Structures are given as C-alpha cells and as structure tokens.
Amino acid sequence: EVQLVESGGVVVQPGGSLRLSCAASGFTFDDYTMHWVRQAPGKGLEWVSLISWDGGSTYYADSVKGRFTISRDNSKNSLYLQMNSLRTEDTALYYCAKDGLTTLDYWGQGTLVTVSS
C-alpha cells in the first residue's frame, strides 16, 4: 500500500525558513518523480514543485521560484521542501504526491504551514 506522510509544518514568522519532509513507503521510491502541492485555507490546489526520480531535475511554480528548494534522499525514501523567505501567502496545507507518469496518483494527508507574526 502506498503511503506518504508529511511532517514539519509549524507556525513561522514572515521572512522565516522551514523544511518539510515526506516519508514514502509501499512503492519503489527512486523510480518515481515526486511533487509538492499546496492548498491555502478554504482555497484550491496549487502545484508547487517537482523533482525527477534521481533528483537531477527540479521545477517550480513562479510563486515560489528562488525561495523554495525541493530535494530527495532515495536512501531514506524521503522527499523534502526547503522553504525560505516565507510570506503570509505561503500559509497552506502542503501535500506531497507521487507522480504516476501521467498524473499525480497518490497523495499524503498534508502538513500545515502557517506564516504569521
């Protein structure tokens, strides 16, 4: 059974930094591209970033480019999102999702990041 468990979400002040983690199990982690998707309270889904199976290619939404960094450790079956220069508009539930080659087929339950002074 595919499981994705996010962690690391907390309350942080504007301008602060945070690293989110996603622990994966139930599939061969290093075979798949992985994504981060976020959802602001009461709002829709917003794609944030993706990383290729080997970490060699990364892509970002314009809204986070230059501030967020996606990475992975295949030896630990883990995905990460380093978030710097956080803004109030980054407040959201952050999901990690597995790429099923043509879709995001499995999602975690999310971890909540609140940016507030």
Binding site for other proteins (CB under 8 A): 35, 37, 44-47, 50, 57, 59, 61-62, 95, 100, 102-110
Q: Which phi-psi region, left, alpha or beta, contains residue 101 (left: φ > 0; alpha: ψ -120 to 50)?
A: left
How many other C-beta atoms lie within 10 A of the C-beta of residue 1? Answer: 6
Minimum separation from the CB atom of position 37 to other proteins (A)? 8
Q: Which amino acid is at 89?
A: E
Minimum separation from the CB atom of position 42 to other proteins (A)? 10
Report the residue number, 75 or 103, with the smaller CB distance to other proteins: 103
Report the residue number, 16 or 112, with the smaller CB distance to other proteins: 112
Q: How far apart are CA 66 and CA 20, in angstroms?
A: 17
